[in-house]
Structure 1
Amino acid sequence: MILNSRFLTPRHHLEPPYHHTTPQRTQPHHSDSRTLPEGDGIFRLNSLPTMSDHDQRSPSPEFSLDLDEGLAPLPTYKTAGTVEVGFEGLLAEPVKLHEDLKSGCGGMLWPAGMVLAKHMLRYHLNELPHSRILELGAGGGLVGLSVAKACHLETPMYLTDQEEMEELMHHNISLNGLDDQVKARILNWGEPLSQEIVDFKADTILAADCVYFEPAFPLLMQTMQDLLAASPSATIYFCFKKRRQADMRFLKAAKKTFQATEIEDEDRPVFSREGLFLYALKRKC
């Protein structure tokens, strides 16, 4: 998921790309094509200037949408290029992702997407071909495209994000030869769902690293509620990285709104040390 640069203020620092820290493996070079080191699949942060206590406080416990601060353009962190990810053999053929930050931070790979994609491939491969799948805040489409790459879907899935990411989603769909399996659509959080999305009635909703910008929290919450209202038996597979206390307030609010269950995964002891959380969210009865 990306947000327009006009929404970003100087204190809303986005974290830079992650690099693998396994000994004798190097960070991918800035080239047109590269293979992403996999190892345990967990990435570590480069350093950023530490925000002050004032900066780390949320605008309000109620997810305030106060945006009356000076505006700043979205920073650029690395050159555009293409990566291949095979998830340690879980994919017979690696998924290819073009990364491009010109449209925002959604144009690159983030750890929560790696964790969620690997979990779906490892634990849900038998049921996924028969599922109606929608990815929220897809960015370049890592999670959804990995799923589509692994199995022939009976019903084409949807990658969704803001308009700025539409071109990248289409590009990566075609890059993987999945034009007949995956559709890209604009879905702005907080806005009414299109009739196409309502009628689709997704039963498997994927959301990775959608929690990173506090003013968008109530919009994300509304969209998740709307999707579950359209398909009451659906499950949202939700993975995020805790970067600040506001992220945990979102989780607390989600637990009040949905039936939330932390998901067991054999990699959980590893990714939990990196501040990554994996939950299944369902509509409360």
Structure 2
Amino acid sequence: MTCVGDEDDPFPADHCLFAETFSQDNLYTLVGQELKIRQVFGANLGVAAPVWEAALQMCRYFEEQCVELRGKRILELGAGTGVVGILAARLGAAVTLTDLPLALPQLQANVSANMPSSGWPSPPPTVLPLSWGEDHMNFPSDWDLVLCADIIYLPETYPLLVETLAHLCKNGAVVYLSSKMRKEHETPVFFKERLPNRFNVELLHRDERQNINIYRASLRTDL
């Protein structure tokens, strides 16, 4: 079965994506690592099913800027297929991937499918449920990096996300956010107004063609 939708739209109009469950495997070569990522499309996963371009751009940015991931304690929010966190784990980071409970089977399957033949260079990635603003207090605050790839598209979740990030970063973690800048979902407002209320925010990279921005943020200490 073949379905075509707009990959830039977090809510694909093509209803056939949700008519039945089907999967698609894709190979990605990122930072010298070959990842096999399965995308499971169906009514339950919705936006967690695809590999979004913003996630791939974050991986490429890390490579181009030689961002050191080895040995880092990393948490990914809204990991979806897990491509960013899995890459970090393959490069030697200790990674915890989080998403809503319905997304976890796909996430865990991709983690298992991408274990290097020689084993993970650091502790195997952990996959855990995390609902922003609800159970974030169950997580520690001693991360080095928090990664967020294309998770800014539902305005009602923005206060919960900022609250969650503030908890995760209170001991100095740096956040990297890669996002399609969707005006209709107030994504620019999040980065211009909501996130700066609690964080110092720096624009690192902009892709005009894809309308994707990459930001770095750290918790403000002047509040």
TM-score range, shorter chain: 0.7 to 0.9
Partner of 2:134: 191
Q: Which residue of the other structure, out of 141, 152, 156, is the alignment partner of 2:92?
A: 152
The answer as to 2:165 corresponding to 1:227 is no
Higher relative contact order (CA 8 A, sep 6+): 1
Q: How does 1:127-146 map to 2 (within 5 A)?
A: 127-146=68-87
1:60-86 Cα offsets, whole Å, 9 max, x none, are xxxxxxxxxxxx9x8469941211100
- Under a length normalisation based on structure 1, what TM-score does the superposition of the two structures give? 0.65
Q: Which amino acid aligns with 1:227?
A: L
Partner Cα separation in structure 2 for residue 226 and residue 251 of structure 1: 18
Gap change, CA 1:16 and 1:215, over 3 Å in 2: farther
| Distance of 2:98 and 2:77 partners within structure 1 | 5
- Distance in 2 (alpha carbons) for counterparts of 1:169 and 1:242: 25
**Corresponding pairs, count:** 205
The 3-state SS of whatever aligns with 2:89 is helix
For 1:251, which of 191, 194, 206 is the aligned residue? 191
Cα deviation 1:6-30 (Å, max 9, x = unaligned)? xxxxxxxxx9453xxxxxxxxxxxx
Whose radius of gyration is greater, 1 or 2?
Answer: 1
**Does the Cα contact within 8 Å between 1:152 and 1:181 map onto a contact in 2?**
no
Contact 1:208 1:240 in 2 (8 A): yes
Please report the RMSD computed on the Cα atoms of aligned residues, expressed in angstroms.
Answer: 2.5
Distance in structure 2 (CA, Å) of the matches to 1:216 and 1:116: 22
Matches for 1:1-285 after TM superposition, within 5 Å: 16-18=5-7, 75=18, 79-87=22-30, 90-91=31-32, 93-102=33-42, 103-125=45-67, 127-149=68-90, 151-153=91-93, 156-177=94-115, 180-195=123-138, 197-198=139-140, 201-229=142-170, 231=171, 233-245=172-184, 246-252=186-192, 253-264=194-205, 268=206, 271-285=207-221
Q: How high is the sequence identity, in percent, across the aligned residues? A: 24
Give, as a single letter, the amino acid of the residue that structure 2 aligns with 1:226. H
More strand by share: 2
Secondary structure of the residue that 2:136 maps to in structure 1? coil
TM norm structure 2: 0.82
**Alpha-carbon deviation of 1:123?**
2.2
Structure 1 spans left out of the alignment, 5+ residues: 1-14, 19-43, 50-71
Asked whether the equivalents of residues 75 and 143 of structure 2 are also in contact (C-alpha less than 8 Å), the reply is yes
Counterparts of 2:19 and 2:199, CA distance in 1: 36
SS of structure 2 residue aligned to 1:207: strand
